[in-house]
Amino acid sequence: MSAVVEIRGLRKTFRSVRRGTRLALDGFDMTVHAGQVHGFLGPNGSGKSTTLRVLLGLTRAGAGEVRVLGEPVPQASPRLARHIGALVESPRFFPHFSAWDTLALLCDAGRVPRSRVDEVLELVGLADRARDRVRTYSLGMRQRLAVAMAVLKHPDLLILDEPANGLDPAGIRQMRDLMRALADSGMTVLLASHILAEVQQLCDSVTIISSGRHVGAGSVADVLSRHASGRWRVRLESADELPTAARALTAVGMRVTVLADQLVVSGITRTGEISRALATHGLYVAELSPEAVGLEDIFLRLTDASTAGRHRLGVMA
């Protein structure tokens, strides 16, 4: 799998007279592979927008190496511009223009054939409102028009900063379907988002940033399994047997929490240990499953740990 984005050791410091020196990126690393929807996650102020602005050549890093589509940034940024589409700031529209007029104007300015307008309107689901004025559009429709503007030149890499911000559940779902359709059409999508359930459903891989540092990355499945809770949920034929089962498991060194209809067990290396310990007391497992951990739990665990560590070290900006 080839890397579309490679970032190594990125540092960026902001200096202002009023607020002093602020370290926004502190040796940050990230890799995004071709054809994936890659989620870029981090708490407010952790450095996501700064990273995206560096990738786009909009701001310069103090140190580190950045390559997009194999080319160095910022040196190759003018050449890369036509291969990257981006939605990183609130889009501005001419409210009295229609979506069709808006895209046609951009086609003319960017020497893209106008035949692309209808294609893109179809892709973002605005074909039936294409001739209506933008000022009559909902927030979700405006966001989809902004994505249409970003993909007009059929970029290889699409960078989106919180595209579902402020959208209702239906709008979020349309945006998710759109991202998936774009990735299926061969585009690599880098998506900064706070909506972790969405990221878990949509993204192939993720990078987690906290206080300007990389704190986790990998395919969503890997990240979920790497940070699995190590706890197992155990149900028996009858809930009446749970107290006896809890005593049996505790006696062999496991940690057990008794809930109304199940046990939560940790402190084991193999699940067979649970069935074996219960069988010696004539108890049989009806259901045994790993306790589910979502991306949100992992995100909070990693970013809290990182922030707490940096507070201890006294290196917070």
Ligand X SMILES: Nc1ncnc2c1ncn2[C@@H]1O[C@H](COP(=O)(O)OP(=O)(O)OP(=O)(O)O)[C@@H](O)[C@H]1O
Contacts with ligand X by CB under 6 A lie at 14, 16, 22, 24, 42, 44-50, 317
Q: Which is nearer to ligand X, 159 or 277 (CB)?
A: 159
The nearest distance, CB 3 to ligand X, in angstroms, is: 22
| DSSP structural state of residue 156 | S
Contact present, 22 and 75 (Cβ < 8 Å)? no
Q: Which is nearer to ligand X, 22 or 235 (CB)?
A: 22
Q: Which is nearer to ligand X, 44 or 238 (CB)?
A: 44
Q: Parallel, antiparallel, or unpaired: how do β-strands 205-210 and 188-192 relate?
A: unpaired
The nearest distance, CB 44 to ligand X, in angstroms, is: 3
Q: Which is nearer to ligand X, 49 or 98 (CB)?
A: 49
What's the first-to-final CA gap in the chain, in angstroms?
A: 37
The nearest distance, CB 48 to ligand X, in angstroms, is: 4
Q: At a CB cut-off of 8 Å and minimum separation 6, what does 67 contact? A: 3, 5, 6, 7, 73
Q: Which is nearer to ligand X, 48 or 213 (CB)?
A: 48
Contact present, 170 and 137 (Cβ < 8 Å)? no
Contact present, 158 and 188 (Cβ < 8 Å)? yes
Which residue bears the tokens 């589509």? 69
The nearest distance, CB 210 to ligand X, in angstroms, is: 9
Distance CA 40, CA 51 (A): 10
The nearest distance, CB 47 to ligand X, in angstroms, is: 4
